[in-house]
Amino acid sequence: MLATSAIAFIATTMLSIHCPAEVWLEILSHLPRTTLLSTCMLSKYFLDLSLDLLYEEITLDSSDKMARERLQMVIRDKNVADRVRRLTILPPLSEGRSNPTSSSRQIRFLNYLCHLEDLRRNFAGLSCFPSQQIECHLNVSTSGLPICLTNVQEVTITLSSFYQNQNFCNFYKYMWEKNCIGPNIRKFSVSTPALDLAFLIMPMLRYGSAILKNLTHVRLDLGRSYNPTKGNKNQVWGSLTKLVNLAGSSLTSLSFSSSDPNIDRGANLSSLPFLQSLQKLEYHCPFYVSSLADMTALTEFIGKYSTQLSHLVIAPFSTRVWDEDDGHPAGESYSKWITSTDSRGIDLSPQIGLSSLVLPALRYLAIRPAGRMSRRNILPDLRQFAPGLKSLRISGPLPQALIYSILNFLSSDSDGGYQLEKLAIQVKNLSPDLFDNLYTKLPHLKHLEIKFSALSSSNSEGPEGGILRTDGVPESTTPRKYAHWSLQYLRIAPMAECQGRHPDMALMKTVGNWISDDIILDAEKRCQCDDKLGC
């Protein structure tokens, strides 16, 4: 009786406090066999939750010599394989990744499941434990032959280079050759040097052509490759074209990012087939002073999907401060393409600029203008370019004078009555005057995200106006009241979140009180590295 009560206590406690799987396994490892069996039968629900938690995502290290064996263990157990939704392959810890993989936890759990299978066999002949009941609770037998990850939906691969890791080459080829990936894959993401892309795509095309026809999302992030040859570059884009062509009928989202200045983006875009279902396009590449020819190809590519694109992100790839003279991505060149005018207001050829297009289905637009600019307009004519736009994201950081110019441009009071619902901006100095302008110019705004470098009591851009603090608004600030603002969601955060600076809750509460008691204040911690626009 006492043993039964103890078993029930263990099971109910583990369920009620959401005990981590590792702690639960540690407890079970110290129980006698009969107690272990009874506990598992009482806490089968928790076992399922633990399996869901551990195996929703399988994470493997690209340098792990046992990666192939670890994957084999997973796909041989149907009870585990069917739970996997995401397969992630990351570079070694030594290459800057701080979070360890979950392989050790997952393998430990697999060993535990094998132990349960042994128990099932041992107790199957005992009258005190009906065989059907045992079979129901401990049916975790492994298959003699490998099966595939039937329900995996996402595959993410991040590499620095594969040339020095033959183990990964063998593992990756095995993964596709043995059909380890099931037919439900929808999203394929790759981050790799450009010249390694062909190696990753070729096995997919050779062994996985049937399942790739169901892809809906493709995300490619190509780093710089050293000493590329013309033949190597042709091979890269040839493989990419074949992949997109294979998934063309089902592909709804395409994200392309590259920091490699040697890439001929115009030729690449021109070689891609027409994607009849494409709705979301993200493009992050260098924009050089001399790259207007490539921009023309980009304009033509976007124009092919003018009637179907609902989500568009166009942002320069840059790790340095923009400068028009140093040969690196230039803000003025990028802004010329966005607005179809130069800094003097002179119109460019209509075939070059983004604003020459009309995207009636567009609902989301994200751009990243340069911070050091003399121009007052960094947007296309949205009423013509995207008459149905509801969400706008502008990265920066931008000076307040430019922010106020943008708000005047977006104002609902201007001709046409443009009504934006969501806005995300990045400013140098955050002052109460900004909220006054937002309230006046965008009364229909429902969703607002702001990143800032400094707090200020005025709209001054000088050193005396900026106060680096995150403990609330400056003391000189007069409380506001925005009684008729439609704002429902607010997020305010200092920049450089990836260095540990997260949303300023005190500041958001202060501003939220100016708006409504029902406003949603988003205090979720995010890392800036997860967003290429940095906003």
Q: Model-level pTM?
A: 0.79
State the pLDDT at residue 81: 82
Q: What percent of the chain has pLDDT over 70?
A: 58
Q: Which of 79, 107, 137 is the last residue of a domain?
A: 137
pLDDT band at residue 398 using 50, 70 and 90 as cut-offs: confident
Residue 465: which pLDDT band, with cuts at 50, 70 and 90?
A: very low
445 falls within a domain? yes
In this prediction, residue 392 carries a pLDDT of 95
Which residue, of 118, 137, 156, is where some domain finishes?
A: 137
Q: What is the pLDDT of residue 351?
A: 59
Mean pLDDT value across residues 135-158 = 66
Q: Is residue 34 part of a domain?
A: yes
Neighbours of 424 (CB within 10 A): 18
Separation between Cα atoms, residue 529 and residue 532, nearest integer Å: 7
Predicted pLDDT of residue 349: 60
437 within domain boundaries = yes
Q: What is the DSSP string of 74-126?
A: HHT-HHHHTT--EEEEE--GGGT--SPPSHHHHHHHHHHHHHHHHHHHHHTT-
In a domain? residue 302: no
Does pLDDT of 19 surpass 60?
Answer: no
Average pLDDT of span 17-39: 59
Q: What is the band of 164 on the pLDDT scale with cuts at 50, 70, 90?
A: low
Q: Name the more confident of 237 and 450.
A: 450
Name the pLDDT band for 469 (thresholds 50, 70, 90). Answer: very low
> Average pLDDT in the 45-49 region?
60
Stretch 493-521: mean pLDDT: 77
Indicate whether 127 pLDDT > 50.
no
pLDDT digits (tens, 9 = 90+) for 240-295: 888 888 887 889 999 988 877 666 565 567 778 889 999 999 988 776 655 555 57
Residue 301 makes CB contacts below 8 A (sequence gap 6+) with 269, 270, 272
Q: Is the pLDDT of residue 481 over 70?
A: yes
Q: Taking residues 194-215, report their average pLDDT.
A: 84
- The parent domain of residue 56 ranges over 2-137
Any domain includes 450: yes
pLDDT value at position 414?
Answer: 53
Helix (H) or strand (E) holding 257: strand 253-258
pLDDT beyond 90 at 312? yes
Half-sphere exposure of 515 (CA within 13 A, CB side): 28
Please check whether residue 235 lies inside any domain of the structure: no
- Number of structural domains (the chain) is 2
In a domain, 260, yes or no: no
pLDDT at 140 over 70: no
**Integer-rounded Cα radius of gyration of the chain:** 28
In this structure, are residues 355 and 340 in contact, taking their beta carbons and an 8 Å threshold? yes
Residue 418, in any domain of the structure? yes
pLDDT recorded at residue 320? 45
Identify the domain boundary among 116, 137, 158: 137
Over range 501-509, report the average pLDDT.
Answer: 78
Chain mean pLDDT for the chain: 72
Answer with the residue of higher pLDDT: 5 or 209: 209
